[in-house]
C-alpha cells in the first residue's frame, strides 16, 4: 500500500531548507518572511537504476554517431533533388528562407537600421529559426541548400534528446526506453523529410524535447539546481522564439506535471498569499489609478471591433475601420506593462526574493524577457491571433471528430513507416501510460504533453499535418517507457537482457523499411514527383542585368519565391521595383496608376510571368489579380518592347522579358 502524501502548515516554522528536500519535491515555492509551508512525504518515490559508468555516456554517444550518419545520408539525397523542394511557390518555406536571407544580407550590406526593422517584423513567426539560417548563410554563402542545415541539426538533436528524455523518465531500463524512442524518431518519414527543409518544425521539435530534458534535470537533481533551472528558463525562451504554439503546448504540459506532483503545496502557498492581501484597500487603489480606467476603456473598445470584424464603423456618417485592432491591443499591453513596472519597483522585487531560487531563475530568464518582447509593436496581438481560433482559413471550422480523423491519418501515413509500425508504437505507448505512477519525478510532463496535445491539436480548426511534429516525439518517448516497463517488470529478472534485445530488434525490424528511405510528408521535404517552380525564376533571372532597375509583374502566385531568388542572386532589392500591391486599388485606379508609371519610370527591364490556365480556387496573393489587370495595357504601351519570351508548358505559364524601347521605336505590337 502507498501512504498518503500529507501537507503540514506551520505558522511559526523557520525558513524551510529546500536544499535538503527530497528529489521528489519538484520546484518548491516558499515565503521566507511569512507563515511557511513544508511537505512531508511518506511515500518513497521511484528511483532510476544507476547506470554503469560506461553506459552513462556510451549509449548517448552511439545514438549521436548513428544519427550523424543518417543525417549525412539525408543531406546527400537532398542535394540530388534539392530543386523539387520548391514545388509550391507560396509554401511557408519560401517566407522562412526569405526572412533568413534578409537578415544575412542586412549584415553583409552593413544595414543596421534595416536589420533591426527585419528583426521586428518577426511577429507571426518568431525570429530564432531565421537567425540560425542567417548565421549559416553568412558563413557559407547565399544558397538555399545551406539554409536547410539548422533543420538537419535540429533533427539530430531531436533523436538524441528523445533518448535522453526517455532514459531520464524511466524508473528502470532507461537505456532501453531511450533506444526505442530514438529508433521510432530516426525512422519517422515526416521527421526525415523536414530534416532537409527550411521550416520551423525540426528545430521546434528539438527545443520541445530540450525543455522536457531540462525540466527533468531540474526536478530530479539537487546538485546545481539553480543552474539547471536557468537552463530550463532559457530553453523555454528559445522555444518561444521558435514557434508560439509549440511553446504553449510544452508550458501547459509542465504546469500539468507540477500541478499533479505538488498541486496541494501550490494551493497552500497561494491561499497563504491571498490571505495576506488587503482586498478592499487594493481594489479601491486600483479604481483610483488612471491607468486602470484607460485599460478598461481600451478593452471595451477592442471587443466591438472584433465583433464587427472587417465591417466598418460609421462615425459622423463616414466609414471607419479599425480591424484588426493591432495598435489598440499593443497600447493596452503597454499600459499594463507600466502598471506592472510600478508594482515591481515597489513590491515585486522584494516578493520574488521570497520565492524558491529556481522560480527566481524562471522569472529572470523567461518572464522578464517575454514582457520586454511584447513591448515591440504588434507583437501581443499577433501572438494572441496565432494561438487563437482566428488563425485559420475561411473554409476551416472547428471539427473535433474531423480533426481526430485527419491527424490519425497523418500520424500513420507520414510519421510511421507502415500501419504495423504505428500499431506497435500505439501498443507500447499504452503500456507507457499505465506506468504513470511509477515514473521518475518529472516524467509525467512527457505524458501530459502527449495527452494535452492530442486533444488541443484536433480541436483547433487549422488542421495541418505538421502540427503533429513537435509532440509526436512524446508519443515515442512514452512508447519507450512502455517497452522498459514490460521488460523490467516482475518475473523477468533472469531474462531481461534477452527480452530487451528482442524488443529492440522488433522495433528496429518494423522501422527498417523507413530507415532506408529519405522520408516524406504532406507539407515537408522535396516532392520529387512534382516539377520545380524554380524553372520560372530561372527563365528571367538569367536575363536581368546587374545594373539598372527591373519591374516584376506576375499573375502566378510567385511573390515569396520571386523575392528570395532575387535576393539570393543580387544580395539586395535595390535594383528591383516592388509593386506587389499593384499601382492602385483594383480596377480603373490600378490601370491608371500603371499608365502613369509608364510615363515616369526609370526601369530598364520589365518581366511579366503570365499563367496560361485558369487558376480559380488556387491560393494566391493580391498581386496576381492586380497584375493580371495590366496585361492588355502592357501590349498597347510604347515604353517597353518585347525582347524575349519563354513557354513553360509543364508549369502552365509564360515568361516575357520587356526592354525599354529606344526613341522612335514603333508600337510594340508591330515589333513582336
DSSP reduced 3-state for 201: helix
**pLDDT at 40 exceeding the cut of 70:** no
Last residue of a domain, one of 366, 387, 408: 387
Q: Are residues 510 and 648 in the same domain?
A: no
| Distance (Å, whole) CA 477 – CA 267 | 30
pLDDT band at 663 (very low <50, low <70, confident <90, very high): low
Query: Are 209 and 314 contained in the same domain?
Result: no
- Residue of 479, 507, 503, 476 lying closest to 492 (CA atoms): 503
The C-alpha atoms of residue 506 and residue 512 are separated, in whole angstroms, by 10
- What spatial distance separates the first Cα and last Cα of the chain, rounded to whole Å? 92
Rounded Cα distance between 648 and 244, Å, is 40
161 with 102, same domain? yes
Say whether 131 sits in a helix, a strand or coil. Answer: helix
Q: Which three cell numbers stand for residue 404?
A: 481526430
Q: Does pLDDT of 539 surpass 80?
A: yes
Instruction: Quote the CA–CA distance of 204 and 194 in Å, as a whole number.
Output: 11
* The predicted structure's pLDDT at residue 137: 97
Q: What is the CA 566 to chain-centroid distance, rounded?
A: 26
Average pLDDT, the chain: 86
pLDDT in tens, 49-105: 445 556 688 999 999 999 999 999 999 999 999 999 999 988 999 999 999 999 999
- At residue 516's C-alpha, the angle toward residues 411 and 159, to 5°, is 60
The whole-number pLDDT of residue 32 equals: 35
CATH number, domain containing residue 657? 3.40.50
The answer, yes or no, to whether residue 662 has pLDDT greater than 80, is no
**Bridge partners, 577 (sequence order):** 551
Q: Give the mean model confidence (pLDDT) for residues 6-28.
A: 37
Write the pLDDT tens digit of every residue in 382-436.
Answer: 999 999 888 888 788 888 899 999 999 999 999 999 999 999 999 999 999 999 9
Range among 34-43, 51-60, 172-181, 283-292 with highest mean pLDDT value: 172-181
Domain count, the chain: 3
Sequential DSSP letters for 416-431: SSSHHHHHHHHHHHHH
Burial class (CB in 10 A: 0-12, 13-18, 19+), 307: exposed
Average pLDDT of the residues in 346-367: 88
The whole-angstrom separation of Cα 221 and Cα 514 is: 37
* C-alpha cell at position 353: 526574493
Beta 550-554 vs 576-577: how paired, if at all?
parallel
Residue at 36 is within a domain: no
Same structural domain, 551 and 602: yes
Encode pLDDT of 209-232 as tens digits: 999 999 999 999 776 788 999 999
Counting Cα atoms < 13 Å in the Cβ hemisphere of 1 gives 3
Q: Residue 16 pLDDT > 50, yes or no?
A: no
Are 49 and 173 a contacting pair, CB within 8 Å?
Answer: yes
Distances (CA, A) of 48 to 23, 44, 220, 232, 270: 12, 12, 10, 21, 32
Q: Where are the beta strands (DSSP E) in 468-599?
A: 550-554, 576-577
CA dist 635 to 611, 632, 639, 640, 658, Å?
A: 16, 5, 10, 9, 10
Are residue 211 and residue 294 in the same domain, yes or no?
Answer: no
Query: 207 and 74, same structural domain?
Result: yes
Full domain range(s) for residue 312: 287-387
Alpha carbon distance 232, 239 (integer Å): 11
Strand pairing class (550-554; 318-320): unpaired
For a pLDDT cut of 70, what percent of the chain falls above it? 87
CA angle 535, 108, 577 (to 5 degrees): 50
Q: Are strands 6-10 and 36-40 parallel, antiparallel or unpaired?
A: antiparallel
Q: Average pLDDT, stretch 656-664?
A: 84
In a domain, 273, yes or no: no
Same domain, 382 and 340: yes
452 grid coordinates: 494535452
Quick check: 121 pLDDT over 90? yes
Element (H or E) spanning 610, and its range? strand 605-611
Decide if 365 is inside a domain: yes
Distance CA 208, CA 449 (A): 10
Residue 40 burial class via C-beta count within 10 angstroms: exposed 0-12, middle 13-18, buried 19 and up: exposed
- Please check whether residue 389 is in contact with residue 398, taking contact to mean a CB–CB distance below 8 angstroms: yes
Q: Is residue 254 part of a domain?
A: no
Q: Stretch 315-339: mean pLDDT, rounded?
A: 84
The DSSP symbol for 335 reads H
Strands (E), 448-604: 550-554, 576-577
- Are β-strands 653-660 and 640-648 bridged in parallel, bridged antiparallel, or unpaired? antiparallel
pLDDT at 315: 66
Q: Same domain, yes or no, for 507 and 551?
A: no
Write down the pLDDT at residue 53.
Answer: 56
Same domain? For 435 and 544 the reply is no
Question: What are residue 458's DSSP bridge partners?
Answer: none
Higher pLDDT, 278 or 14: 278
| 14 lies in some domain | no
- Helices (DSSP H) in 571-638: which residue ranges? 588-600, 622-628, 631-636
Residue 69 lies in a domain: yes
Alpha-carbon distance 451 to 257, whole Å? 12
pLDDT tens-digit profile of 588-640? Answer: 999 999 999 999 999 999 999 999 887 665 667 788 989 999 999 999 999 99
Question: Distance of CA 158 to CAs 162, 195, 480, 672, Å?
Answer: 6, 10, 15, 57
What is the rounded distance in angstroms from the CA atom of residue 500 to the CA atom of residue 68? 25
Residue 373 lies in a domain: yes
Say if residue 130 is in the same domain as residue 235.
yes
Q: Is 221 inside any structural domain?
A: yes
Q: CB within 8 A of 622, min separation 6: which ones?
A: 580, 581, 582
The model's confidence at residue 171, banded by pLDDT at 50, 70 and 90, is very high
pLDDT at 35 over 50: no
Residue 93 sits in the same domain as residue 236: yes
Go through the chain and tell me how many residues it has.
672
Domain match, 182 and 221 both: yes
Q: Which residue has the cell 539570393?
A: 568
Q: Tell me what percent of the residues of the chain surpass a pLDDT of 90.
A: 67
> Bridge partners of 39?
7
Number of H helices, E strands in the chain: 28, 9
Least confident of 88-97, 121-130, 483-492, 573-582: 483-492
Q: pLDDT tier at 183 (50, 70, 90 boundaries)?
A: very high
pLDDT of residue 494: 67
**In this predicted model, what pLDDT tens digit does every residue of 263-309 receive, in sequence order?**
888 888 888 877 877 777 878 877 888 888 888 888 888 887 777 77
| pLDDT value at residue 318 | 72
Predicted confidence at residue 479, as pLDDT, reads 97
pLDDT band at 368 (very low <50, low <70, confident <90, very high): very high
Burial of 271 (0-12, 13-18, 19+ CB in 10 A): exposed
Amino acid at each position: 500500500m502507498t501512504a498518503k502524501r500529507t501537507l503540514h502548515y506551520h505558522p511559526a516554522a523557520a525558513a524551510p531548507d529546500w536544499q535538503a528536500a527530497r528529489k521528489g519535491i519538484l520546484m518548491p515555492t516558499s515565503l521566507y518572511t511569512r507563515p511557511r509551508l513544508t511537505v512531508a512525504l511518506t511515500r518513497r518515490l521511484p528511483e532510476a537504476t544507476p547506470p554503469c559508468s560506461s553506459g552513462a555516456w556510451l549509449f548517448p554517444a552511439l545514438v549521436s554517431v548513428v544519427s550523424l550518419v543518417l543525417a549525412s545520408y539525408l543531406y546527400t539525397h537532398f542535394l540530388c533533388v534539392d530543386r523539387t523542394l520548391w514545388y509550391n511557390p507560396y509554401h511557408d518555406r519560401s517566407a522562412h528562407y526569405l526572412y533568413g536571407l534578409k537578415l544575412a544580407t542586412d549584415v553583409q550590406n552593413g544595414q543596421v537600421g534595416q536589420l533591426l526593422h527585419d528583426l521586428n517584423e518577426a511577429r507571426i513567426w518568431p525570429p530564432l529559426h531565421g537567425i540560425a539560417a542567417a548565421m549559416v548563410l553568412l558563413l557559407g554563402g547565399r544558397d538555399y541548400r545551406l539554409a536547410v542545415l539548422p533543420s538537419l541539426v535540429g533533427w539530430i538533436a531531436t533523436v538524441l534528446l528523445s533518448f535522453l528524455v526517455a532514459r531520464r523518465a524511466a524508473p528502470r531500463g532507461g537505456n532501453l526506453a531511450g533506444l526505442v524512442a530514438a529508433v521510432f524518431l530516426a525512422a519517422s518519414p515526416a521527421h526525415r523529410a523536414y530534416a532537409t527543409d527550411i521550416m520551423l518544425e525540426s528545430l521546434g521539435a528539438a527545443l520541445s524535447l530540450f525543455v522536457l530534458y531540462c525540466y527533468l534535470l531540474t526536478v530530479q537533481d539537487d546538485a546545481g539546481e539553480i543552474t539547471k533551472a536557468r537552463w530550463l528558463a532559457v530553453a523555454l525562451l528559445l522555444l518561444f522564439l521558435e514557434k508560439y504554439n509549440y511553446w504553449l503546448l510544452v508550458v501547459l504540459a509542465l504546469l500539468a506535471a507540477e500541478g499533479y506532483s505538488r498541486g496541494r503545496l501550490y494551493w497552500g502557498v497561494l491561499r497563504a498569499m491571498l490571505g495576506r492581501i488587503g482586498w478592499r484597500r487594493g481594489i479601491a487603489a486600483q479604481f483610483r489609478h488612471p491607468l486602470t480606467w484607460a485599460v478598461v476603456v481600451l478593452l471595451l473598445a477592442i471587443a466591438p471591433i472584433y465583433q464587427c470584424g472587417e465591417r466598418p464603423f460609421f462615425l459622423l456618417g463616414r466609414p471607419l475601420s479599425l480591424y484588426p485592432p493591432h495598435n489598440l491591443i499593443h497600447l493596452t499591453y503597454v499600459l499594463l506593462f507600466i502598471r506592472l513596472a510600478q508594482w515591481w519597483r515597489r513590491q515585486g522585487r522584494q516578493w520574488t526574493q521570497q520565492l524558491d531560487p529556481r522560480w527566481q531563475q524562471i522569472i529572470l530568464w523567461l518572464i522578464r524577457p517575454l514582457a520586454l518582447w511584447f513591448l515591440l509593436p504588434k507583437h501581443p496581438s499577433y501572438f494572441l491571433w496565432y494561438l487563437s481560433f482566428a488563425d485559420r482559413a475561411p473554409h476551416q471550422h472547428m471539427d473535433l471528430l474531423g480533426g481526430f480523423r485527419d491527424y490519425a491519418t497523418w500520424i500513420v501515413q507520414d510519421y510511421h513507416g507502415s500501419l504495423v509500425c504505428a500499431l506497435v508504437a500505439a501498443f507500447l505507448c499504452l503500456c507507457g501510460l499505465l506506468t504513470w505512477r511509477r515514473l521518475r519525478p518529472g516524467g509525467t510532463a512527457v505524458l501530459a504533453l502527449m495527452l494535452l496535445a492530442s486533444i488541443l491539436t484536433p480541436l483547433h480548426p487549422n488542421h495541418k499535418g505538421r502540427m503533429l511534429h513537435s509532440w509526436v516525439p512524446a508519443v515515442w518517448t512514452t512508447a519507450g517507457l512502455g517497452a522498459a516497463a514490460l521488460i523490467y517488470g516482475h518475473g523477468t529478472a533472469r531474462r531481461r537482457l534477452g527480452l530487451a534485445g528482442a524488443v529492440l530488434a522488433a522495433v528496429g525490424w518494423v522501422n527498417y523499411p523507413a530507415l532506408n528511405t529519405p522520408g516524406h510528408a504532406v507539407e515537408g521535404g522535396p516532392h520529387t514527383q512534382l516539377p520545380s517552380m524554380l524553372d520560372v525564376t530561372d527563365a528571367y533571372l538569367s536575363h536581368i542585368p546587374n545594373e539598372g532597375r527591373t519591374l516584376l509583374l506576375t499573375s502566378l502566385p510567385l511573390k515569396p519565391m520571386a523575392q528570395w531568388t532575387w535576393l539570393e542572386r543580387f544580395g539586395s532589392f535595390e535594383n528591383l521595383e516592388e509593386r506587389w500591391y499593384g499601382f492602385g486599388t483594383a480596377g480603373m485606379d490600378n490601370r491608371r496608376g500603371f499608365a502613369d508609371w509608364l510615363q515616369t519610370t526609370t526601369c530598364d527591364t520589365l518581366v511579366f510571368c503570365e499563367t496560361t490556365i485558369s487558376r480559380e480556387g488556387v491560393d494566391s496573393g493580391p498581386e496576381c489579380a492586380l497584375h493580371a489587370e495590366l496585361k492588355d495595357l502592357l501590349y498597347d504601351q510604347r515604353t517597353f518592347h518585347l525582347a524575349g519570351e519563354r513557354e513553360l508548358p509543364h508549369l502552365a505559364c509564360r515568361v516575357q522579358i520587356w526592354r525599354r524601347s529606344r526613341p522612335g521605336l514603333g508600337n510594340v505590337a508591330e515589333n513582336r
